């Protein structure tokens, strides 16, 4: 390197550039974070309130947007009981804590994030594997309580272990999964046919 370093290659030029670029990017990120928080709060435009578990939730292709998105339907209370917003939040919260304490994310993915040893849970609530909407809730609870006996391995021999999940925890997990399936995930997963949507 010669003694006469052009300005664009000098240490001070890049030092200042580094500071301005980092500062600018971070300020923009903070601004976008405020906006994103507003939009993804429960009850906001993209993430429904917890009491959505009182409704029927499905997933359909939107021709205008050219992607799939959740569809909130008629009354369909979970376990036959209509909950207030506070009760629903408490139930979903219990479900979320159980999902964390049982370390589900190191086998499954949630919203596509986690491990890849077991199926994605984003739309697990509306998976066709549950057969019919009427028997779904009970099947999910039974499966969580005794996953070995009620194994759903699809020929893979990969069984979920028994995680000592209690009845209230199992119901709470189902509530959490139902609520999570209502989140607008920008069309992920694509081409997913929800239970009850087979002929549509």
Partner 1 sequence: MTLQAYQEKAAVCWAGCKQNYGVLMANPFLSGGQKLAVHYFTVAMVLFMAQLLFGLLAGLQFIFPSFLYEILDFNVNRMVHINAMVVWMLYGFIGSVYWFLEEESGVEIVGLKWGQLAFWVLTGAVTVVVLVYLLIQIGAGNDTSLWLINEGREYIEAPRWADIGIVVVMLTFFYNVAATFAKGKWSGIAGVLTLDLVALAGLYLAGMFYVTNISIDQYWWWWVIHLWVEATWEVLVGCIMAWSLMKLLGVRRQVVQTWLYIEVALMFGSGILGLGHHYFWIGTPEYWFTIGGFFSALEPIPLVAMVVHSIYDAGAHRFKNSNHPALAWVIAHAFGNFLGAGVWGFMHTLPQINLYTHGTQWSASHGHLAFFGAYATINIAFFYLAMQQARGNVWMGGDLANGWRWKTAAVLLNLGVLGMTVALLIAGYEQSFIERAVEGSTWAGYFSAQNHPWFMQAMVWRMVFGLMTAVGGGLLFWDLLTIGKGETRSAAVITNDAVTQEIA
Which 115-134 positions form the footprint of partner 1 (CB under 8 A)? 115-117, 119-120, 123-124, 127-129
Nearer to partner 1, 31 or 74 (CB): 31
CA 152, 96, 125, 40: dihedral to nearest 10 degrees? -150
Give yes or no for a contact between 105 and 115, defined as CB atoms under 8 angstroms apart: yes
| Least distance (Å) between residue 82 CB and partner 1 | 20
Q: Per CB under 8 A, does 7 bind partner 1? A: no
User: Which 69-88 residues touch partner 1, going by CB under 8 A?
Assistant: none
CB under 8 Å to 58, separation ≥6 — which residues? Answer: 70, 71, 73, 126, 194, 196, 197
Cα angle, residue 118 at apex, residues 115 and 119 outer, rounded to 5°: 105
Q: Per CB under 8 A, does 17 bind partner 1? A: yes
Q: Per CB under 8 A, does 111 bind partner 1? A: yes
Rg (the chain; Cα; Å): 23
Nearer to partner 1, 133 or 152 (CB): 152
- Candidate segments 76-84, 132-140, 157-165, binder of partner 1 by CB under 8 A: 157-165
CB under 8 Å to 45, separation ≥6 — which residues? Answer: 39, 184
Specify which residues 116 forms β-bridges with: none
- Candidate segments 71-79, 135-143, 191-199, binder of partner 1 by CB under 8 A: 191-199
Q: Burial letters for 130-140: b for 16+ Cβ neighbours within 10 Å, e otherwise?
A: beeeeebbebb
Nearer to partner 1, 12 or 134 (CB): 12
Of 75, 164, 198, 199, the residue at the interface with partner 1 (CB under 8 A) is: 164
Residue 116, class by beta-carbon neighbours within 10 Å (0-12 exposed, 13-18 middle, 19+ buried)? exposed
Q: Per CB under 8 A, does 192 bind partner 1? A: yes
Q: Per CB under 8 A, does 189 bind partner 1? A: yes
Nearer to partner 1, 81 or 190 (CB): 190
């Amino acid at each position: 390197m010669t003694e006469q370093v052009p300005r664009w290659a000098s240490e001070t030029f890049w030092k200042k550039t580094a500071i301005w670029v980092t500062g600018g990017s971070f300020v923009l990120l903070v601004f976008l974070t405020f906006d994103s928080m507003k939009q993804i709060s429960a009850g906001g435009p993209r993430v429904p309130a917890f009491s959505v578990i009182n409704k029927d939730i499905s997933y359909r292709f939107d021709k205008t947007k050219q992607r799939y998105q959740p569809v909130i339907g008629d009354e369909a209370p979970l376990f036959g009981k209509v909950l207030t917003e506070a009760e629903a939040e408490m139930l979903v919260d219990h479900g979320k804590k159980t999902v964390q304490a049982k370390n589900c994310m190191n086998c499954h993915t949630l919203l596509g994030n986690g491990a890849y040893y077991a199926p994605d849970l984003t739309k697990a609530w509306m998976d066709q594997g549950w057969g019919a909407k009427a028997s779904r809730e009970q099947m999910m609870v039974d499966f969580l309580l005794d996953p070995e006996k009620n194994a759903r391995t699809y020929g893979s021999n990969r069984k979920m272990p028994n995680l000592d999940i209690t009845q209230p925890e199992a119901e709470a997990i189902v509530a959490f999964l139902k609520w999570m399936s209502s989140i607008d995930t920008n069309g992920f997963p694509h081409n997913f046919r929800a239970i009850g949507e087979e002929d549509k």
